[in-house]
Amino acid sequence: MQPVPDYGLSVVEQLRAMTEAGTLQPDRHQFGVAEKLDRILTEFKARKPAAKKSALGWMFAQRRKQEIPIKGLYVHGSVGRGKTMLMDLFFKLAPVEKKRRAHFHEFMADVHGRIHAHRQKVKAGETKQADPVPPVAAALREEAQLLCFDEFTVTDIADAMILARLFTELFARGCTLVATSNVEPDNLYRDGLNRGLFLPFVDLLKKNVDVSTLDSPTDYRLEKMESLPVYIAPLNDAPKMMDIAWKRVTEGAPEVAVTIEMKGRTIEIPRAAGRAARFSFRDLCERPLGASDYLAIAKRFDVVFVENIPHLGPEKRNETKRFIILIDALYDASVRLFASAVAMPEALLTEKKGTEGFEFDRTVSRLFEMRSADYLALHQSKRQNHDGSVT
């Protein structure tokens, strides 16, 4: 979560300088992944700049000669091993004019939004192209030749069913993909509904990326963790403590109920004061909300309170999925989180199996890091950049 310094012209050089300076511990596993990222950098540098592309739309883009993409990289491994740091180093150095780094949930929310907008154009008679995927893929390619996804994961059937077609188009147009994940490609969307229809994407992915494991022996997130009193468990004194924290954060600002407009519908925010919002677990995870809703909340608020997080058993599978996505959205936006729960993060999930079991390891790690001094310092820095004040 720390800003990435500029130490050199390759990922390996930057890692070496950071270890020599004492910023990082030497880790041969990280250097192995860095070498693979540098292979991609070298191939980008060797290619001549592409001719300036036409902005006349997807129909002209479709006629262009298909480009052979540079083979990307998919890095998977346990949480806290440095995957995100390495991708940040790589992304900063990538000599590509059009590149995009995003959390995978954010990217897919954008894709679904574009598909919806195209279908509205079809209904309005503004286009005769009934299939939205080719024009959406063409538009994405016009904006980015390099796509970098942090925490690549597939839990939503709507995402699963579109990925093969979307990335067939993107790879054919020369997109290169670099991604980090907690799971290897063969375990993506494991136990998901109609998973057989998703498997062509797994095959397509493995043809277009090298797959690398990063499983260092050290969890660097936990090593740096410095806990602060922002996660309260168990629930005995939680209401009183949350009230005290709420009063301190809002500093007497008037509390109101607000709504966020989302494509013809609204997200209800029961308690808001300035750029702070307060929810119960039920408000956020027992209602039919998705990644786009949580991203909108993370964009609107700098501080979020979530109260009364329960144990998450098999009977709460949907709620568990939503909670995982919620924490991803808040974490990626550096939102300051205050939470009260029935148990500490590692004890919330009562039965670890299937996709949720894999994904919840990341959630536990992020809940710990969101209590650390490093995370709160980053939150404050971003808050200052937003409007010159600190929450």
Evaluate if residue 51 carries a pLDDT over 50: no
pLDDT beyond 60 at 50? no
Specify the range with the lowest mean pLDDT, choosing from 7-11, 113-117, 127-131, 246-250.
7-11
Which tops the pLDDT comparison, 141 or 274? 141
What's the rounded mean pLDDT across residues 350-364? 82
Report the CATH fold assignment for 11-213.
Rossmann fold (3.40.50)
> Is there a common fold for 11-213 and 225-387?
yes
Residue 387's contacts (CB-CB under 8 Å, 6 or more residues apart) are: none
Q: What is the pLDDT of residue 227?
A: 37
Q: Quick one: which of 216, 223, 175, 190 has its CA closest to 83? A: 216
Q: Enter the pTM of the model.
A: 0.63
Band the pLDDT of 324: cuts 50, 70, 90.
very high
Mean pLDDT, range 42-67, rounded to an integer: 60
The whole-number pLDDT of residue 223 equals 54
pLDDT at position 228:
42
CB 40 within 8 Å of CB 175 = no
Nearest CA-CA partner of 199 in 208, 209, 188, 207: 188
Flag whether pLDDT at 2 surpasses 90: no
**Has residue 134 got a pLDDT over 90?**
yes
Structural contact between residues 11 and 18, judged by C-beta atoms closer than 8 angstroms? no
pLDDT tens, position by position, 263-293: 778 899 999 988 899 999 999 999 999 999 9
Please give the mean pLDDT across all residues of the chain.
85
* pLDDT over 70 percentage in the chain: 85
Q: pLDDT exceeding 90 applies to what percent of the chain? A: 52
Res 49: pLDDT = 57
**What confidence tier does 122 reach under pLDDT thresholds 50, 70, 90?**
very high
Q: What ranges do the domains of the chain cover? A: 11-213, 225-387
pLDDT score of 221 = 53
pLDDT value, residue 219: 60
Q: Which CATH architecture has domain 225-387?
A: 3-Layer(aba) Sandwich (3.40)
Q: One-letter amino acid identity for 40?
A: I
